[in-house]
Amino acid sequence: MYKEEKYRTILEATDEELKYLRDKALNDRWKPIYHVHPQYGLLNDPNGLAYYNGYYHLFHQWYPFGSIHGMKHWAHLKSKNLVEWTREDVALIPTESYESHGAYSGTAIEIDGDLFLYYTGNVKYDKERRNANQCLAIMDNNGKVVKYKDNPLIEGVPKGYTGHVRDPKVFKIKDYYYMLLGAQREDLTGAIIVYKSKDGFQWDICGELHISNFDNDFGYMWECPDYLNIDGKDILVFSPQGIEPDGENYKNLFNVVYVLGNLDIDNLEFTVESFHEFENGFDFYATQSFKGREKQMLLLAWAGLGEFKYPTDKNMWTHCLTFPRELSLKNNKIIQKPAKELELLRDEKKSEKGICNRFFKVENFNNTYELDINLDRKSSNIFGVNLVSSSEEKLVLEFNKESCIVTLDRSNMKNIFVEEYGSVRKSKLHINQNIKIKVLMDNSIAEIFINDGDVVFTTRIFPLKESTGIEIFSDDLIDFHYDKYTLKRGILD
């Protein structure tokens, strides 16, 4: 079997090795306190998200032995309320031949009282050649996870596709379960394949999903397909690789897009009404949606992408997830807001109102907060907020009334990373008199929601210790009003 050092499971580690990793990562001041992150090692996609048996269950791709992409396990966290998480035993350790090079991403669905975890067993023959098996593990209501005895459910890939077929999304429509798989055709274009099952065990291929009015040649691989329905509208979300930037869109190495319309699953036909980039920021990929306790539509993403180097790599941990977002539809577009459970983390509140004459400094002393700022621009044309600022650096969020452009600029930060894809992201916005901004800041991640989630930017940032400033700026007078909450810790290390 093809073996490299990075294809080792946690069962092969010594206690000293794990203690070394834990200690090394423990006191990194860039670790978030309320965004899910790995205790040590590398996190990527959210997996198996579910509200099941009175708890939220969150799994994520995890490589334990440092900051590289190697043997992927499924780490597991559990929460009553979506914000206070406990770390549970590792849910999937890839010990079997059908998953010899990792338990890759997948989703969860409750079937007959158990939580079915569908995932991809990744198999590598050498550095280049690979295969994929679709697998199942079942978690019972005591939290015990057991791999299905007759795995894999689907052995290998269908004809016409390369070994890149993965990330099962399973859902039920009427009497059948359906599985969407992200895939690469043999002509090296991306696609989604559909399977069907009566019982969740026995799967038959239906074929490729046809997405009408959509370019057949849109990137070389589609990862993490997701299907959801909001207010009767069908939505397909996926993470295509290999699409070119288009103006201010698709500027990241990999991107997330969604199509909105109607899914006719019997005819494998998705009729597209509109098509959008999912997010406007830098570090956002591999989204997964799920229904919460009140059937609200929630979504998490990996706040990262690709295989870049990040400033925390040297401390043997990398990446975090976004905060859970609640999705709704407005004007045929997805609106994203932080899940309302965020309020449970609120600690001290400070509010202030005033007039900014070119520059106003908000009192602040750490970078773990929620900030709601409303700006009434009066006669100002260019205005905005500097975050994580000090005399050395700042993250700039700037609005331009004339061009109706909002810009997030991280080029003034001292710790630069993934700079080959640019340090500025822009988006078009209706800039009227008032702008509403919500910032979730958590040591090394900022999520910025503008005008109630119309535009959203996710960015990682690695500020200097002294960079805790928040400043309002304008080219003329503006009125401001803000509420700032310090936030409590949601996840222990």
Catalytic choice (45, 167, 442, 454): 45
- What residues contact 199, with CB distance under 8 A and at least 6 apart? 177
Residues 226-285 that bind ligand FRU (CB under 6 A): 285
Residue 151 Cβ, how far from ligand FRU at the closest point, in Å?
Answer: 16
Choose between 35 and 166: whose C-beta lies nearer to ligand FRU: 166
Q: Does 167 bind ligand FRU (CB under 6 A)?
A: yes
Instruction: Tell me the closest approach of the beta carbon of residue 106 to ligand FRU, in angstroms.
Output: 8
- Distance between CA atoms of residues 210 and 272, nearest Å: 10
Q: Does 370 bind ligand FRU (CB under 6 A)?
A: no
| Rounded Cα distance, 275 and 253, in Å | 19
Q: 31 is written with which tokens?
A: 């670790």
Helix (H, G, I), strand (E, B) or coil at 417: coil
How are beta strands 317-318 and 41-52 bridged, if at all? Answer: parallel
Size of the site for ligand FRU (CB under 6 A): 13
Work out which of 67, 79, 120, 367 binds ligand FRU, going by CB under 6 A. 120
**Which lies closer to ligand FRU via its Cβ, residue 166 or residue 484?**
166
Least distance to ligand FRU, CB of residue 286, Å: 4
Among 104, 222, 238, 284, binds ligand FRU (CB under 6 A): 104
Which residue type is seen at 41? G
CA distance 173 to 180: 13
Q: Is 15 helix (H, G, I), strand (E, B) or coil?
A: helix
100 contacts ligand FRU (rule: CB under 6 A): no
Find the binding residues for ligand FRU in span 20-79 (CB under 6 A).
Answer: 44-45, 61, 72
Question: What DSSP assignment string belongs to 73-103?
Answer: EEEEEEESSSSSEEEEEEEE---SGGGTT-E
Binder to ligand FRU among 67, 105, 287, 289 (CB under 6 A)?
A: 105
CB-CB contact of 413 with 463 (8 Å): yes
Q: How far is the CB of 273 from ligand FRU (least distance, A)?
A: 27
Catalytic site includes residue 283? no
Considering the complex, what minimum distance in angstroms separates the CB of residue 166 from ligand FRU? 5
Beta bridge partners of 249: 246
Q: Using an 8 Å Cβ cutoff, are 144 and 89 in contact?
A: no
Among 12, 7, 115, smallest CA distance to 54 is for 115
**Chain residues in the site for ligand FRU (CB under 6 A):** 44-45, 61, 72, 104-105, 120, 166-167, 223-224, 285-286
By annotation, the residues acting in catalysis are 45
